[in-house]
Amino acid sequence: MDSTSEILHDFSPLIRVYKDGRVERLSGLETVPASFDPATGVQSKDVKISDTVSARLYVPKSVKPDQKLPLVVYFHGGGFVIGTASSPVYQTHLNNLVAEANIMVVSVDYRRAPEHPLPVAYEDSWTSLQWIASHSTRAGQEPWLNEHADLQSVFFAGDSAGANIAHNMAIRVGTEKPNGYNVEGIALVHSYFWGQEALSGERIEPKIRDFLDRLWFFIKPDTNGLDDPLINPASDSRLSSLGCKRVIIYVAEQDVLKHRGLYYKELLDNSGWGGRVEVVETRDENHVFHLFDPTTDKAVSLVKSVASFINNGKSI
């Protein structure tokens, strides 16, 4: 068989890799430009952070000159292999969140596996946080951050793999204690956490478990296994150092990763971390349902809940 057509790794419906090294992404390919969104009154633009990292920034149209807003650093999902900060589902979701919460967002466009295996996505995300911190004196390179970002009220948020990144960035903030910003909380939507052993109540078809097992080794070939602290917070001795005061965890009733989100709350409660953690479960929905149809009542409710968490310190 010709190596150009022989599949080496098949993670359909996400990605395939062929024996000749060709990478074929099967979803998350569509992109939309940054723009003004008349439906929400939110303006976005793309910025270059470094030679390898970029981001999409969002501000509400109603923001006044020098008005400071809470800053959400958003990490997109996609299993570390698909999706970008310019994917239409994220453009819509973040337009809605910015309008609802009256916040500023930096949506990080990190590099993806397998071309850039983990920990590259984490390092790119950390580079983004360092870039944000460079605006703490209001003399950074990006005017929107200088003028509008309240760096004493920063939140990390993300869905799926992005929620994993948000957690790991909060761990790094708590252990390294960087200057220039204060992380108030993290919002984790349908977090991509995993582990070697099944959890109580976690009944997953062997085919799906095998897919998730293999995916982790695919995106982080040098991992020490499925209990790598980057994918299994139960293995992370630094969990009590999580660098924020509040956490909100979203789970979906039909999501295979639901029990990992519930377990994360249990881990935090028992870790000695002194913050507040809560769980919001959406009944009868599956993984990242809110991205696929943002107009449903449940999707709108999720956005409102995140907005309330940011602004009022609690969900709705």
User: Of the residues 255, 259, 290, 315, which is catalytic?
Assistant: 255
Instruction: Please give the structure tokens belonging to residue 247.
Output: 């956490």
User: Of the residues 76, 167, 259, 287, which is catalytic?
Assistant: 287
Question: For position 3, what pLDDT does the model report?
Answer: 56
Closest C-alpha among 183, 230, 191, 173 to residue 75: 191
**pLDDT over 90, % of the chain:** 96
The region, left, alpha or beta by phi > 0 then psi within -120 to 50, assigned to residue 215 is alpha
List CB contacts of 274: < 8 A, sequence separation 6 or more.
none
Summarize pLDDT for 267-311 with one digit per residue, the tens.
999 999 999 999 999 999 999 999 999 999 999 999 999 999 999
Give CATH superfamily name and number for 31-312.
Answer: Alpha/Beta hydrolase fold, catalytic domain (3.40.50.1820)
Instruction: Please give the structure tokens belonging to residue 197.
Output: 């052993």
- Cis ω before 70 (30° cut-off from 0): no
Summarize pLDDT for 127-163 with one digit per residue, the tens.
999 999 999 999 999 999 999 999 999 999 999 999 9
Summarize pLDDT for 188-211 with one digit per residue, the tens.
999 999 999 999 999 999 999 999
Q: CB of 194 within 8 A of CB of 226?
A: yes
Residue 190 annotated among the catalytic residues of the structure: no
Q: How far apart are CA 197 and CA 152, in angstroms?
A: 39
Tell me the C-alpha to C-alpha distance, in Å, between residue 210 and each of 10, 214, 266: 12, 6, 25
Q: How far apart are CA 105 and CA 97, in angstroms?
A: 9
Q: Give the residue-averaged pLDDT of 168-190.
A: 98
Longest dimension (CA), the chain: 63
Residue 241 annotated among the catalytic residues of the structure: no
Residue 287 annotated among the catalytic residues of the structure: yes
Judged against a pLDDT cut of 80, whether residue 51 lies above it is answered with yes
Closest C-alpha among 50, 51, 91 to residue 74: 91
Q: What is the mean pLDDT of the chain?
A: 96
Q: CB of 127 within 8 A of CB of 83?
A: no
Q: Give the residue-averaged pLDDT of 22-27.
A: 97
> Quick one: pLDDT band at residue 2, thresholds 50, 70, 90?
low
Return the domain boundaries, the chain.
Answer: 1-29, 31-312
Q: Helix 297-312 vs helix 88-101: angle between axes, to the nearest 10 degrees?
A: 50
Instruction: Please give the structure tokens belonging to residue 10.
Output: 């098949």
User: Of the residues 44, 160, 271, 305, which is catalytic?
Assistant: 160
Which helix (H) or strand (E) segment holds residue 161: the answer is helix 161-176
Tell me the C-alpha to C-alpha distance, in Å, between residue 111 and each of 42, 55, 85, 114: 26, 11, 11, 9
CA angle centred on 96, ends 173 and 13, rounded to 5°: 75
